[in-house]
């Protein structure tokens, strides 16, 4: 199945893995790339040398292309932006901000630059700055989100730019991929489903929480201070949302969540930790290898699109 994205990235299937903080490490990225998608190392808030190490470990596990997601709110974003060049990375996605100050450096290094955007305005701006594609990410996604849904954002971005568009947010099976293609997307970015992959290193309790999630189990914290984060409801979100409603300060709320994602991902504390996941969690019921997931989703997408 060929699209401008599979051609641009040299991948077999039009599926890229989300650059999820603490989750998108070398084992998962290599597994997705080996299965014919594009695996990503999530830079998140990690120091540049940690990201360098992850890139090198991923390269030991695959000869296929892998990408890096640079999380622009990270205190180490600038250093990570240089490390991807030094390590010869060919594809960079960015999240939670505007990457224009790094674009010239990345383009000069021959890197394909794919900013994640949550609005038409940023998509157009990124195209002007030389982006090779954009990920249009709806608020169904886990983690840091914008305000538009995937259903509304994707076709508007598709109409606004010439470069290819990758749809993200709320996609977890072949029907979601087919739907994204109907909206004009040429690939999809998938996060939550890969969190429960066999190759994913997240704690079993975190995977269980996703596998058992219902449709209405999703909550968004931090809307009042402009840092909306989607995660699964638990003790932490209940307390956070109660304090937020009472008008707690940004500092107090931040303190509550400090290290909370790591606590959930690595220690399996799904009660007091932040269990970031998208709204599609309720659809995800089985742990499979990345290869099984990708092949199953592509077969279903092709069937839905009458390509078989």
> Which residues make up the interface to ligand TUI (CB under 6 A)?
21, 44-45, 71, 73, 95-98, 116-118, 122, 137, 143-146, 227
Q: In terms of CB distance, is 280 or 301 closer to ligand TUI?
A: 280
Q: In terms of CB distance, is 59 or 233 closer to ligand TUI?
A: 233
* Position with the least CB separation from ligand TUI: 143
Q: In terms of CB distance, is 37 or 95 closer to ligand TUI?
A: 95
CB of 95 to ligand TUI, least distance (A): 3
CB of 251 to ligand TUI, least distance (A): 14
Q: In terms of CB distance, is 137 or 173 closer to ligand TUI?
A: 137
Mapped to the 3 state alphabet, what secondary structure does the chain carry?
Answer: CCCHHHHHHCCCCCEEECCCCCCCCHHHHHHHHHCCCEEEEECCCCCHHHHHHHHHHHHHHCCCCEEEEEECCCCCHHHHHHHHHHCCCCEEEEECCCCHHHHHHHHHCCCEEEEEECCHHHHHHHHHCCCCCEEEECCCCCEECCCCCHHHHHHHHHHHCCCCEEEECCCCCHHHHHHHHHCCCCEEEECHHHHCCCCCCCCHHHHHHHHCCCCCCEEEECHHHCCCEEEECCHHHHHHHHHHHCCCCHHHHHHHHCCHHHHHHHHCCCCCCCCECCHHHHHCCCCCCHHHHHHHHHHHHHHHCCCC
CB of 291 to ligand TUI, least distance (A): 25
Q: In terms of CB distance, is 36 or 143 closer to ligand TUI?
A: 143
């Amino acid at each position: 199945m060929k699209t401008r994205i599979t051609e641009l990235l040299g991948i077999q299937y039009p599926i890229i893995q989300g650059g999820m903080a603490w989750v998108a490490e070398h084992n998962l990225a290599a597994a997705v790339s080996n299965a014919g998608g594009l695996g990503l190392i999530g830079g998140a808030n990690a120091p540049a040398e940690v990201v360098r190490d992850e890139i090198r470990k991923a390269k030991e596990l695959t000869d296929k292309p892998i990408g890096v997601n640079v999380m622009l709110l990270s205190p180490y974003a600038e250093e990570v932006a240089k490390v991807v060049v030094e390590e010869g990375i060919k594809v960079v996605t960015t999240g939670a901000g505007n990457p224009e100050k790094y674009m010239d450096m990345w383009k000069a290094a021959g890197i394909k630059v794919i900013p994640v955007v949550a609005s038409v305005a940023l998509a157009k701006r990124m195209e002007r700055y030389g982006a090779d594609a954009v990920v249009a990410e709806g608020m169904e996604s886990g983690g840091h989100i914008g305000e538009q849904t995937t259903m509304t954002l994707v076709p508007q971005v598709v109409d606004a730019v010439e470069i290819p568009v990758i749809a993200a947010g709320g996609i977890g099976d072949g029907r979601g991929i087919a739907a994204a293609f109907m909206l004009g997307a040429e690939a999809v970015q998938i996060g939550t489903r890969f969190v429960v992959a066999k190759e994913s290193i997240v704690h079993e309790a975190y995977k269980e929480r996703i596998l058992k999630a219902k449709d209405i189990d999703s909550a968004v914290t931090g809307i009042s201070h402009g840092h909306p984060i989607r995660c699964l409801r638990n003790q932490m979100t209940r307390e956070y949302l109660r304090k937020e409603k009472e008008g707690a300060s940004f500092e107090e709320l931040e303190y509550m969540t400090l290290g909370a994602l790591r606590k959930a991902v690595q220690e399996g504390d799904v009660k007091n930790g932040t269990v970031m996941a998208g709204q599609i969690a309720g659809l995800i019921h089985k742990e499979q290898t990345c290869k099984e997931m990708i092949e199953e989703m592509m077969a279903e997408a092709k069937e839905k699109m009458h390509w078989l």
